[in-house]
Structure 1
Amino acid sequence: MTECISVFDMLKIGVGPSSSHTLGPWKAALRWLKELQVAGNFEAISRIRIELYGSLALTGKGHATDIAILMGLLGENPETTDTSLISDKVKSIRETGTINLLQQKEILFKEKTDLKLIGKRRLPFHANGMKFFAITSEGELESTYFSIGGGFVVAEGEDVTSTQKVLPFPCDISANLLEHCNRENLSIAKMVFANEKAWRTEDEINNGLMRIWHTMEECVYKGCNTDGILAGGLNVKRRAASLNKKLLGEQTYTNSAEWIQLIKKSKLDFDEVLKWVSCFALAVNEENAALGRVVTAPTNGSAGVIPTVIMYYFCFKNRAATDEDIIKFLLVAGEIGTFFKKRATISAAMGGCQAEIGVSSAMAAAGLTEALGGSPAQSLMAAEIAMEHHLGLTCDPVGGLVQIPCIERNSMGAIKAITACNIALNSDPEDAKVTLDKVIDTMWQTAKDMKVKYKETSKGGLAVNITVNVSEC
């Protein structure tokens, strides 16, 4: 049975800088302690130990995996935690040598010995593996989890298809989606909405998607209005704020709504629109790199592509766009992401950056195509084109940080999504030689052929050709 995946699984609110290296381990630590509570073992804990393996260990410091684990152990929710307090909470753990598990049980915790990064060893099943040990008077209780991309976490041996929903329009491959839409005369958004009702009410779907959009929008706004140097040792200067000021000149605003109205009044000059697209994308991923609140779409490293393309859509293509238009965009984008999750990977540790920026670009291209009136076939064509031109993209973060080349890549992914949409809207899908399903299969084959050093290890590519002196995040 193929895994049933909701668009809310593909679009999750969380904390940067990485969905697989930050959000996943955070959720794993939280899940582990809650499972110990359910099993009646939580109160017996006297000490704990965590071991991170493979890619999680190799880029763990730069991706803030250590910080994420500590926040999960504290019981913090990545969707609601006050991101401005993360540094202070982590500092307290490190200075006191204690940790208050789930804010309910304080124990000794020495990070140097109790949180081990074992980069030379990889656990079976996935590159992002982690083991948790609870020490009690009766011995050790061991649990193993894997962060498989996009904030998804599975336990060792867990069957993710055991509690599946019965959907009116099940789709194992994108060809199924096209069949449903053609047979029922439905847009992709309407088909996906019908499936989503297997999980949620109509109001919950609409409100949930608007909450996701408002989180994206706030992230763009904050990033466009925050100067400074990103932490981590690379001394990367934030550029979105200065570009935003340059584009708006002397115009002033006090909130995101006023800011967006000013952007909508911008002239539709190609060069200016292109600068805004870059500004939006840089803004989101500078926030992501600074442990800000972002929407995993489908990952944190690629969090800037979809909000950028939505901003492009309603600031420059349809300035009268409604909430309903945004919801349609997100429904389509989320659905496209599920095909990559089911048939390939959305984890850079397994597939390189093609699995992150490539997938997000495909998602955004399909969403934009439907928003601009394209047919289901044209939306799938746009997704195919976007991914086709990301095939083989490696993940080589300099210093293990989600900064170089990650931040700029979101701008590239957004531009490719817009271009893919334009090509698809002016093409007949019947003439296409390549299908989305074939591109997904090719992407997965490429991922398996790719050398491990190009899969989020900082052991190849730019990461070994750029000399840096990186401190801990």
Structure 2
Amino acid sequence: MFLSVFDVFKIGIGPSSSHTMGPMSAAGRFLSELKDGNWPRARSATPAAITASLHGSLAFTGIGHGSDRAVILGLAGENPRDIDPDRMDAIIEEVRHSGRINPPGHPSYRFRPAVDLVLDTKSPLPGHPNGMQFCAFDTDGQLLLRRAYFSIGGGFVVSQDELSALKADTAPPQDTPWPFANAAKMLDMARRSGLSIAAMKRANEEARLSRQQLDKGLDDIWSAMTNCIDRGLAQDGILPGGLKVRRRAKALHSQLAARWQRNEIDPLSGNDWLSLFAMAVNEENAAGGRVVTAPTNGAAGVIPAVLRYAVQFQSGMGQAAIRDFLLTAAAIGGILKHNASISGAEVGCQGEVGSASAMAAAGLCAIWGGSPEQIENAAEIALEHHLGMTCDPVGGLVQIPCIERNAFGAVKAVTAASLALKGDGIHAVPLDACIETMRQTGLDMSEKYKETSQGGLAVNVVAC
């Protein structure tokens, strides 16, 4: 299985990659299938109406995560990367008012969100907890096309057949120069080749893209990340959703900037800047702004925070180092997703913030001069100390505990990189063993703690 850096890092909108970006993309896929006409009765019947249903975790936390809104936007022809966040409310209101969708290149379809969009908490679709189903009907109400899709984390959307193929797929593409599917193979290839993890990942990418395309894509990712931080630092007020969570990044930034200008020495300032950058991103995500899955929206603040911290506080951090950071982080992210999961609905927040922290630790260790063994150690340290972390968003919103949790994930990442660099790369727990532990822990974890808002803080905070 090959995961490109552009599969791991996707530019989209908040608040959730699996619950917002995924359903929007799935709706777009359904429209494409409908338009292609490769289904029974395609030539003898005309689609006139569409319905949709969300299942499992998508149903339980769909309102708080904006899944219902995402389906409407996707059926209206919008996609996560290009949509204008300022237009979303108007598009949704028009569909709700008219009861119709008019995607470009399609006829007008009846779609009444209050009737035709169902959040089904009783009937999970087999295969993955983030399931959804779309149906098209003719003017007589006869079913023409039914498709199920699964949002498997990080904005990835697959059909039932694709999901089965993913679970069975263990062989990398033949044109991949360095086909490492786990950390042990990655380290073995690095030793035999003398290449860094970033260099191997670059070679794998350049088997499909030119160097210019790859570098531009990496630069675009970093630009979107740092722009998201800047937007988060400039905004204040109350986040949407009803919890009345106040944005804190702008006020915290003012405090830290003032100390910086006065040259005040504060032993906690590094942690404060890391926390600030992470919170700025995740406040933007909670507000539905433009973010980068890293590897998910719920964990979108960790990697940008650590990289921005390095850029701001480390001299000589040029574009080449930023690219190496992202390539190294993506290499670890691909291993995590391939061998376990980055979906909170599947393994809890250990798969989201835990994975992000491991990826950030690896990227930072790489640009600080770490060997492949030290980089693998850094990723393992960061992931190990997120094992068992639940996903229990209060009110189904990506706010509490998600925003602060990203800050802690960033701090842990820097700590892990620093510890790894002070060693020689030899350590007791291999990264692969830690990833397998995360997978097994996710299987054992109660569904209440896997992005359903049925347990943990989600019930205790409300009860108070």
TM score, norm. by length of structure 1: 0.92
Q: Write out per-residue CA displacement over residues 431-472 of structure 1, whole angstroms, 9 at most, x where no aligned residue.
A: x11000000000001000000100000000000001289xxx
Describe the shift of the 1:200–1:268 C-alpha distance in structure 2 as closer, same or farther (beyond 3 A). Answer: farther
Q: Distance in 1 between matches of 2:34 and 2:173?
A: 25
Report the equivalent of 1:87. 89
User: Which residue identity is paired with 2:191?
Assistant: N
Q: Write out per-residue CA displacement over residues 286-334 of structure 1, whole angstroms, 9 at most, x where no aligned residue.
A: 0000110000010000000000000111111x23211101000000001
Q: Distance in 2 between matches of 1:351 and 1:425?
A: 29
Cα offset, 1:166, TM superposition: 2.0
1:219 to 228, 246, 249: 228
1:105 to 96, 104, 107: 107
User: Which residue identity is paired with 1:70?
Assistant: I
Q: Distance in 2 between matches of 1:103 and 1:68?
A: 20
Q: Distance in 2 between matches of 1:355 and 1:149?
A: 9
1:116 to 115, 118, 136: 118
User: Which residue identity is paired with 2:436?
Assistant: D
Describe the shift of the 1:36–1:284 C-alpha distance in structure 2 as closer, same or farther (beyond 3 A). Answer: same
Q: Distance in 1 between matches of 2:263 and 2:71?
A: 44
Report the equivalent of 2:376. 380
Report the equivalent of 2:209. 200
Q: Distance in 1 between matches of 2:285 and 2:247?
A: 12
Q: Distance in 1 between matches of 2:219 and 2:61?
A: 33
SS at match of 1:157: helix
SS at match of 1:463: helix
Q: Which runs of 5+ in 2 are unaligned?
A: none
Report the equivalent of 1:442. 437
SS at match of 1:124: coil
Q: Is the 8 A contact 1:166 1:198 kept in 2?
A: yes
Report the equivalent of 2:17. 19
Report the equivalent of 2:63. 61
Q: Does 1:460 align with 2:455?
A: yes
1:153 to 157, 166, 188: 157
Q: Distance in 1 between matches of 2:234 and 2:374?
A: 36
2:421 to 407, 418, 425: 425
Q: Which runs of 5+ in 1 are unaligned?
A: 251-261
Q: Does 1:340 align with 2:336?
A: yes
Q: Write out per-residue CA displacement over residues 79-120 of structure 1, whole angstroms, 9 at most, x where no aligned residue.
A: 111111111111111122222134642232211210000012
Q: Distance in 2 between matches of 1:361 and 1:344?
A: 15
Q: Is the 8 A contact 2:172 2:179 kept in 1?
A: no
Q: Does 1:248 align with 2:257?
A: yes
2:147 to 143, 149, 157: 143
Q: Does 1:301 align with 2:298?
A: yes
SS at match of 2:79: coil
Q: Does 1:370 align with 2:329?
A: no
User: Which residue identity is paired with 1:17?
Assistant: P
Describe the shift of the 1:408–1:74 C-alpha distance in structure 2 as closer, same or farther (beyond 3 A). Answer: same
Q: Is the 8 A contact 1:25 1:69 kept in 2?
A: yes
User: Which residue identity is paired with 1:142?
Assistant: R
Q: Is the 8 A contact 1:58 1:119 kept in 2?
A: yes
Describe the shift of the 1:120–1:222 C-alpha distance in structure 2 as closer, same or farther (beyond 3 A). Answer: same
Q: Write out per-residue CA displacement over residues 239-290 of structure 1, whole angstroms, 9 at most, x where no aligned residue.
A: 001111122239xxxxxxxxxxx89x96674322221111101100000001
SS at match of 1:141: strand
Q: Is the 8 A contact 2:155 2:293 kept in 1?
A: yes
Q: Distance in 2 between matches of 1:338 and 1:415?
A: 22
Q: Distance in 2 between matches of 1:229 and 1:103?
A: 39
SS at match of 1:190: helix
Describe the shift of the 1:266–1:93 C-alpha distance in structure 2 as closer, same or farther (beyond 3 A). Answer: farther
User: Which residue identity is paired with 1:309?
Assistant: V
Q: Which segment drifts farther, 89-98 or 220-229? A: 89-98
User: Which residue identity is paired with 2:300?
Assistant: A
User: Which residue identity is paired with 2:151?
Assistant: S
Q: Distance in 2 between matches of 1:190 and 1:27?
A: 32
Within a 5 Å distance, the mapping from 1:344-423 to structure 2 comes to: 344-423=340-419
SS at match of 2:380: helix
Q: Write out per-residue CA displacement over residues 124-145 of structure 1, whole angstroms, 9 at most, x where no aligned residue.
A: 1000001100112553310010
Report the equivalent of 1:44. 46
Describe the shift of the 1:268–1:368 C-alpha distance in structure 2 as closer, same or farther (beyond 3 A). Answer: farther
Q: Distance in 1 between matches of 2:207 and 2:76?
A: 33
Report the equivalent of 1:28. 26
Structural RMSD (CA)? 1.9
Report the equivalent of 1:171. 180
Report the equivalent of 1:231. 240
1:10 to 8, 11, 18: 8
Q: Distance in 1 between matches of 2:331 and 2:463?
A: 39
2:311 to 285, 310, 314: 314
Q: Distance in 2 between matches of 1:107 and 1:331?
A: 43
Q: Distance in 2 between matches of 1:312 and 1:153?
A: 32
Within a 5 Å distance, the mapping from 1:268-283 to structure 2 comes to: 269-283=266-280
Cα offset, 1:8, TM superposition: 1.1
User: Which residue identity is paired with 1:44?
Assistant: T
Q: Is the 8 A contact 2:47 2:144 kept in 1?
A: no
Cα offset, 1:223, TM superposition: 0.1
Q: Distance in 2 between matches of 1:245 and 1:45?
A: 55
Identity %: 49
Report the equivalent of 1:288. 285
Q: Is the 8 A contact 2:34 2:145 kept in 1?
A: no
